C-alpha cells in the first residue's frame, strides 16, 4: 500500500501515532546489544541502566504535570490508572466514607469502574453536565456529603473536547474533606496541567494519547500522609507497593520522551491545530444542518464533534471510507446505540445518531483538512439526496 492510499487520519482522540523521535528512544531498550535488562535487577549494571531510563521517564512525566517524580506510579494505561484511583482509593478509605461523586459523561474506564464499586456496596452520585459538557462547581457542592471520600471528574472529555474547571472542582471536593481524582488522558498537550496549582490528588495519564506508545500510562498519587491506595495487582511490590509487575522499560522510556516533547512542542502544536480547526469549520460553511456538539470556544481545538442532520452516522462513516473518524456510538448485534456522552449533554437521539467526532493532531496537514472537507461535502449531499 502506498502512503497516498491510506485514509486521512482524523481520529487523534482515539489514539495518536507514536512520534518518530519516541519510537527511536524505545528501540534502545529491547535487544541483547542494548538496555533490555529488568529495571528491578539490583545486582548488575545492566539493571541499573534500565532503572535510570525508567527514572528519567518518571521525571519527564512528573515535570509535565508539575508533580514530584516520587508521585508517579506506572500502569498499563489510563484505564488501569482510573481503576487504581477509584477502586484503590475507595477500598483503602472506607472509614472516610463510602460515597463517590463522578459524572455521567466520564470515559468508560471511570463509568464502568464506578458501577463495579456500586456492586461492591459503595454509593455513587452521577452528576449530569450542562449542554456545554461541563460540571459546575455549584452542582458538585450540592452533591457533596459528609461521607464523600472521592470526587472523580475528567479534565477534557474525549468525545466532545469540553474542558472542566479542574481547580474549581477540586476546591469544592477539598472543602468537604474529599480527595479529587482527574482523568487527564485527553488533556496532556492540550491544556495546561499542574497538579500543584489545580490541587489534584490523583491524576490518570496515558502514553498513546500524547504521541507515546499504547499499553503504558501512569497514575499521579499525591504524596501526603493521608494518601492511601490499595493495590489491584499484587506481586513483587514494585511502584511502592501500589502496582506490582516488571516495568516495561521501552514503553516507559517512550512515554517519558513523548511527554518531554509535549513540554517542548505544546504551544507550537496548539497554534497549528487552532488554524486547522478554523480551516475545517470554514470548509463546512454553507452546508445545511450541521451542528456542533462540541462547545466551540470552551473546548480543546483538536476535537470537533458535529451532527449532520438527516444523515445516519453509520452511513456517513461508510461514505467516508477514506477518512478515519469515529461516531462514539456503540454497536450491538441488533442495533446501534447513540453515544451516552451526547445523550448525556442533551443531544436528541436522532442527532446523536447523526454525529461524528473529528480529531486532529501533530501530523495533520492543511491538505488533509481540505481533502476531508471535499469528501464530507460529497458524502453528506449524496446521503441527503
Residues that bind ligand PLP (CB under 6 A): 77-79, 107, 109, 154, 158, 183, 185-186, 206, 208-209, 217
Report the 10 Å Cβ neighbour count for 331: 10
Compute the least distance from the CB of residue 152 to ligand PLP, in Å.
Answer: 11
CB within 8 Å of 182: residues ≥ 6 apart: 152, 153, 154, 155, 166, 170, 198, 200, 202, 203, 204
Tell me whether residue 304 or residue 376 sits nearer to ligand PLP (CB atom). Answer: 304
* Closest residue to ligand PLP, based on beta-carbon distance: 77
Compute the least distance from the CB of residue 193 to ligand PLP, in Å.
Answer: 13
Distance of CA 153 to the CA centre of its chain: 12
Tell me whether residue 64 or residue 186 sits nearer to ligand PLP (CB atom). Answer: 186
Q: Could you confirm whether 331 is annotated as catalytic?
A: yes
Tell me whether residue 154 or residue 276 sits nearer to ligand PLP (CB atom). Answer: 154
CA–CA dist 244, 76 (Å, integer): 11
Which residue among 298, 331, 349, 378 is the active-site one?
A: 331
Tell me whether residue 183 or residue 201 sits nearer to ligand PLP (CB atom). Answer: 183
Compute the least distance from the CB of residue 88 to ligand PLP, in Å.
Answer: 16
CA–CA dist 47, 362 (Å, integer): 35
Compute the least distance from the CB of residue 13 to ligand PLP, in Å.
Answer: 7
Strands (E), the chain: 8-9, 72-75, 99-103, 123-127, 148-152, 179-183, 202-206, 217-221, 290-292, 303-308, 323-324, 330-331, 336-337, 355-359
CA angle 299, 303, 308 (to 5 degrees): 105
Enzyme catalytic residues: 331
Amino acid at each position: 500500500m502506498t502512503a497516498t492510499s491510506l485514509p486521512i487520519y482524523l481520529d487523534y482522540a482515539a489514539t495518536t501515532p507514536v512520534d518518530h523521535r519516541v519510537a527511536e528512544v524505545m528501540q534502545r531498550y529491547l535487544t541483547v546489544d542494548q538496555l533490555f535488562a529488568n529495571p528491578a535487577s539490583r545486582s548488575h549494571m545492566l539493571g541499573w541502566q534500565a532503572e535510570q531510563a525508567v527514572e528519567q521517564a518518571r521525571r519527564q512525566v512528573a515535570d509535565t504535570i508539575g508533580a514530584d517524580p516520587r508521585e508517579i506510579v506506572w500502569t498499563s494505561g489510563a484505564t488501569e490508572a482510573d481503576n487504581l484511583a477509584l477502586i484503590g482509593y475507595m477500598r483503602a478509605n472506607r472509614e472516610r466514607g463510602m460515597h463517590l461523586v463522578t459524572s455521567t459523561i466520564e470515559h468508560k474506564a471511570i463509568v464502568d469502574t464506578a458501577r463495579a464499586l456500586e456492586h461492591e456496596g459503595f454509593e455513587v452520585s452521577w452528576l449530569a453536565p450542562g449542554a456545554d459538557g461541563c460540571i459546575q462547581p455549584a452542582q458538585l457542592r450540592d452533591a457533596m456529603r459528609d461521607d464523600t471520600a472521592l470526587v472523580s471528574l475528567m479534565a477534557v472529555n474525549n468525545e466532545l473536547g469540553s474542558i472542566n474547571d479542574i481547580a474549581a472542582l477540586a476546591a469544592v471536593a477539598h472543602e468537604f474533606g474529599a480527595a479529587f481524582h482527574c482523568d487527564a488522558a485527553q488533556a496532556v498537550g492540550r491544556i495546561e496541567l499542574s497538579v500543584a496549582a489545580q490541587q489534584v490528588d490523583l491524576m490518570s495519564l496515558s502514553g498513546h494519547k500524547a504521541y507515546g506508545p499504547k499499553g503504558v500510562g501512569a497514575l499521579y498519587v499525591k504524596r501526603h500522609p493521608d494518601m492511601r491506595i490499595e493495590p489491584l495487582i499484587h506481586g513483587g511490590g514494585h511502584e511502592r507497593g501500589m502496582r506490582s509487575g516488571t516495568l516495561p522499560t521501552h514503553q516507559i522510556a517512550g512515554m517519558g520522551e513523548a511527554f518531554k516533547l509535549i513540554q517542548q512542542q505544546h504551544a507550537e502544536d496548539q497554534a497549528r491545530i487552532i488554524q486547522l480547526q478554523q480551516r475545517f469549520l470554514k470548509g463546512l460553511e454553507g452546508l445545511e444542518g450541521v451542528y456542533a456538539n462540541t462547545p466551540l470556544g470552551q473546548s480543546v481545538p483538536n476535537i470537533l464533534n458535529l451532527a449532520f442532520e438527516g444523515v445516519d452516522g453509520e452511513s456517513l462513516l461508510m461514505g467516508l471510507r477514506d477518512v478515519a473518524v469515529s461516531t462514539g456510538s456503540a454497536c450491538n448485534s441488533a442495533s446501534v446505540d447513540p453515544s451516552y456522552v451526547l445523550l448525556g449533554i442533551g443531544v436528541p437521539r436522532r442527532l446523536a445518531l447523526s454525529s461524528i467526532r473529528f480529531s486532529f493532531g501533530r501530523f495533520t496537514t492543511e491538505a488533509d483538512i481540505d481533502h476531508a472537507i471535499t469528501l464530507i461535502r460529497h458524502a453528506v449531499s449524496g446521503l441527503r439526496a
